[in-house]
Structure 1
Amino acid sequence: MTEETTTLTGQVPPPVRDWPTPDLDGTRFDPVLAELMREGPLTRIRLPYGEGWAWLATRHDDVKLITNDPRFSRAEVTKRQVTRMAPHFKPRPGSLAFADQPDHNRLRKPVAAAFTVGAMKRLRPRAQAMLDELVDGVVRDGPPADLVERVLEPFPIAVVSEVMGVPEGERDQVHSWTRTIISTSGGAEAAGRAKDGLYAWITETVRARRDSTADDVYALLGAAVGRGEMSEEEAVGLAGPLQIGGEAVTHNCGQMLYLLLTRPELTARMRERPADRGTVLDELLRYIPHRSSVGLARIALEDVDLRGHRIRAGEAVYVSYLAANRDPEVFPDPDGIDPDRTHNPHLAFGNGPHYCTGAVLARTQLELLVDTLLDRLPGLRLAVPAAEVSWRHRTMIRGPLTLPCTW
């Protein structure tokens, strides 16, 4: 990529802005991203790792266009060191995140049955029982309790492990690997060791399940390998991100609970109108800053004209779902929380072919967590002043490190 990018209108290209990804406490919106949004719908950024610069799209319509347009490729990203947030970058064959069509559909098809609405309805009673057991322990021990440690971490791990087919005795080790992978605090070496450990374990698990008739993800992948629908390498590359994805529920729900516990009117609304909780959850999904910075880039396969600029073939493009969820043309009062926002086309789970595979699973867990904690812990509130809640730093997925609560 060069700095001689031309525009259709003749204006000077937007400057390349360094985005250092600051550590932010609470649900504060990233001030750098807010500034980029004000500068224009299409800007240019340089992240801490990788090489060069990339375009950044922040408007809702543009984000939807780019994420659903085959002229922008994820697979091409694997061939270069694109500017990025994470120090480690070793895409694996089979990863849905870096697959274009038709490979994307081929890879997604064998596991799709594990994440359907019907599958989640069947899972729900078992998930509720697992959650009730955790909350029983919290109630038995009495307040105060750190809800991250006691509920928000172990519950998603247990549910994702159930869906994936991780034996109970190995779940703690798998969680240790996934937590290290999504953190940036240990550096590339620690993340690399964790990835090696996790993927070696996944390889052995997929290989052992080739003749299984079970309906967990590792069994489905093992069977698909056995039928010749994908290679073992592809099955392993597909499974890894699905396993790691369970971490997001912990931290997203942590942010939601923090907002509910620091805004009594929201909690009152949830308690008084339980039938309308889904609307509030959607608004919180729109509002919370799920992640730091941006996710994965795409590469333009040909010249694309957008917002008066020409994105040239070979140039990297990022989209920000966080910014799209604050687009004032789509969401009136975007920086406020409106529990009555009925038109809410948020992009919290992504868009297009790369829409989150586990979206229904994540939504099911969030509903169960919020409903169960509000219903079983009367008068739930923070046990410390809001300013004393500790937050995760140097991480890709934002959320509270601890959530000390009483009731």
Structure 2
Amino acid sequence: MSEETSTLTGQDLPDVRDWPTLDLDGTEFDPILADLMREGPLTRIRLPFGEGWAWLATRYQDVRAITNDPRFSRTAGMTRQVTRIAPHFSPQPGSPAWADQPDHNRLRKTVAGAFTVSAMKRLRPRAQEILDPLVEGVLREGPPADLVERVLEPFPVAVICEVMGVPAADRERMHAWAAQIVSTKGGAEASAEAKKGMFGWILDTVRARAHSESDDVYSLIGSAVRRGEISEAEAVGLAAPLQIGGEAVTHNCGQMLYLLLTRPELMARMRERPAERGPVLDELLRYIPHRSSVGLARIALEDVDLHGVRIGAGEAVYVSYLAANRDPDVFPSPDRIDADRDPNPHLSFGNGVHYCTGAVLARLQIELLVETLLDRLPGLRLAVPADQVPWRRRTMIRGPRSLPVTW
């Protein structure tokens, strides 16, 4: 279908909109995405890298429909230079992020047991043991302190490394690799070098644990490779996104704490009604712009009609979970933080087959971080004016670069 082709209703297709990756401060919603949401349920976008244009779906029901529809394939995008946010494009064969059914379930089954609700309940005391010394160190040294450096970075790194089975001696370089992979700084070369280091470490570890009877994730994956259930390439593709997941917790929680620290009424609510913190955290998860732009594209395997528009076979389609979380048909007054919002069916962890494997783990860490910091640091407040908090630049995951606080 060419850019001049008309829709099924005889109307012209929407113009292709350039969508640069903006460096935004605070929790400001991307103004370009806001414009695209107003322009229609389906628009067309061109991102900074890759080739051509892609459809963008922003309405809640459309996002859910597309992410549950097997006619839209992630796998078909592995060999396509579609328009994209990242300067580098090297999809890892075997990664569940790029897998369609039934391969996706086959791969995910290997590690699913390590991320269940019951497994996270067993992990919670150990995670608290990891967190407590970090907070005690902050208290011992006194204010001011950078929460990102002292707590929000080391805690998720330590927890995911614990779950995965990364030895303490290797955790610092694993974190450095992960941080570079989710950044757009340094371009394709820096990303490729980080992936080479991480992927090589993963492969060596999976091979070494082929006969391990431990329950860490690398042992589970190594055993699956030995049994012939997944290949070594699939083992690397399966493990790497899980290993990188701690980066998202750091920056998402940074945004949530920034909102609490800049909205006294919200902080008071969390302190005065601790039993009701869960719904507030859900609302903050819905509200925060947890990423820049969009994630991975899907490719239409056949013509699909949506809202009177024909998405042609072979065309790329993106969904925006950020936009879906601000759909006024599902979330009244979506640009307002409503601590009593009920129901709150946000899509912050994705939807459909590609729903985040580590969602329960991420939620556990966010709960522990917020609850422990609020309970152990009475009077917690920013140590600088809100507009002086520095934010990450040239990144795929948004968040404060540092969070200076006092108490």
- Aligned positions of 1:293-308 closer than 5 A: 293-308=293-308
Which residue pairs with 2:25 in the alignment?
Answer: 25
1:293, CA displacement in angstroms?
Answer: 0.3
* Correspondence for 2:102: 102
Secondary structure at 2:284's aligned position in 1?
helix
Which whole-Å CA distance do the structure 2 matches of 1:363 and 1:46 have between them? Answer: 33
- The residue number in structure 2 matching 1:244 is 244
Amino acid at match of 1:315: E
SS in 2 for 1:198: helix
Rounded to whole Å, the distance in 1 between the matches of 2:184 and 2:232 is: 29
Letter in 2 for 1:171: R
Instruction: Report the CA distance between 1:5 and its aligned residue.
Output: 3.5
Q: What does residue 335 of structure 2 align with?
A: 335
- What is the distance in 2 between the residues matched to 1:342 and 1:146? 34
* 1:276 aligned onto 2:276: yes
Deviation at 1:94, TM superposition (A): 1.2
Offset from partner CA, 1:33-61 (integer Å, 9 cap, x none) = 00000100100000011110000000000
SS in structure 1 of the partner of residue 104 of structure 2: helix
Deviation of 1:79 after TM superposition, in Å, equals 1.5
Q: Could you say which residue in structure 2 is the equivalent of 1:389?
A: 389
Q: What letter is aligned with 1:80?
A: R
Task: Give the distance between the partners of 1:6 and 1:116, measured in 2 at CA.
Answer: 47
Q: Distance in 2 between matches of 1:6 and 1:365?
A: 48
Other structure's SS at 2:395 match: coil
Match of 1:351 in 2: 351
2:208 aligned partner: 208
For the residues of structure 2 that align with 1:288 and 1:186, how far apart are their CA atoms?
A: 26
Tell me, which stretches of 5 or more residues in structure 1 are unaligned? none
Is 1:96–1:238's contact at 8 Å kept on the other side of the alignment?
yes
For residues 2 and 197 of structure 2, what CA distance do their matches in structure 1 show? 39
Q: How many angstroms apart in 2 are the aligned matches of 1:224 and 1:94?
A: 13
Identity percentage over the alignment? 77
Matching residue of 1:314: 314
Q: Report deviation, 1:183.
A: 0.6
User: For each residue in 1:169-205, what CA deviation from the matched residue of structure 2 results, as whole angstroms up to 9, or x when unmatched?
Assistant: 1000000000011111111111111111110111101
Q: Indicate if the aligned counterparts of 1:5 and 1:310 stay in contact, CA closer than 8 A.
A: no
* 3-state DSSP of counterpart to 1:249: helix
Deviation at 1:341, TM superposition (A): 0.3
- Provide the secondary structure at the position in 2 that maps to 1:179: helix
Letter in 2 for 1:50: G
The amino acid across from 1:310 in the alignment is R
Q: Distance in 2 between matches of 1:354 and 1:2?
A: 30
Q: Does 1:147 align with 2:147?
A: yes
Q: Which amino acid aligns with 2:94?
A: G
Ranges of 4+ aligned residues in structure 1 off by more than 2 Å = none
Give the whole-Å Cα distance in 2 for the aligned partners of 1:5 and 1:111.
Answer: 45
CA distance in structure 2 between the partners assigned to 1:186 and 1:146 by the alignment: 25
Q: CA deviation at 1:147?
A: 0.2
User: Structure 1 residue 246: deviation in Å?
Assistant: 1.0
How far apart in 2 are the matches of 1:290 and 1:355?
Answer: 15
Superposed CA offset, 1:106-163 (max 9, x none): 0000100000000000000000010001001001111110000000000000000001
Q: Distance in 1 between matches of 2:35 and 2:185?
A: 26
Offset of 1:4 from its aligned partner?
A: 3.6
CA 131–313 in structure 1, closer or farther in 2 if over 3 Å, else same = same
Distance in 2, Cα, partners of 1:124 & 1:364:
7
Distance in 2 (alpha carbons) for counterparts of 1:221 and 1:5: 48
Structure 2: 5+ residue runs without aligned partners?
A: none
Match of 1:114 in 2: 114
Query: Is the 1:203–1:236 contact (alpha carbons within 8 Å) kept by the matching residues of 2?
Result: yes
Which residues in structure 2 correspond to 1:4-403 (within 5 Å)? 4-403=4-403
- Which whole-Å deviations, capped at 9, do the CAs of 1:267-287 have from their partners, x for residues lacking one? 000011111100000000000
TM-score normalised to structure 2 length: 0.99
Taking the aligned partners of 1:164 and 1:246, their CA distance within structure 2 comes to: 11
Are the equivalent residues in 1 in contact too, given 2:4–2:12 (CA < 8 A)?
no
- Does the CA contact (< 8 Å) of 1:17 and 1:46 recur in 2? yes
The separation in 2 between residues aligned to 1:240 and 1:88, in whole angstroms, is: 16
Q: Give secondary structure in 1 for the equivalent of 2:317.
A: strand
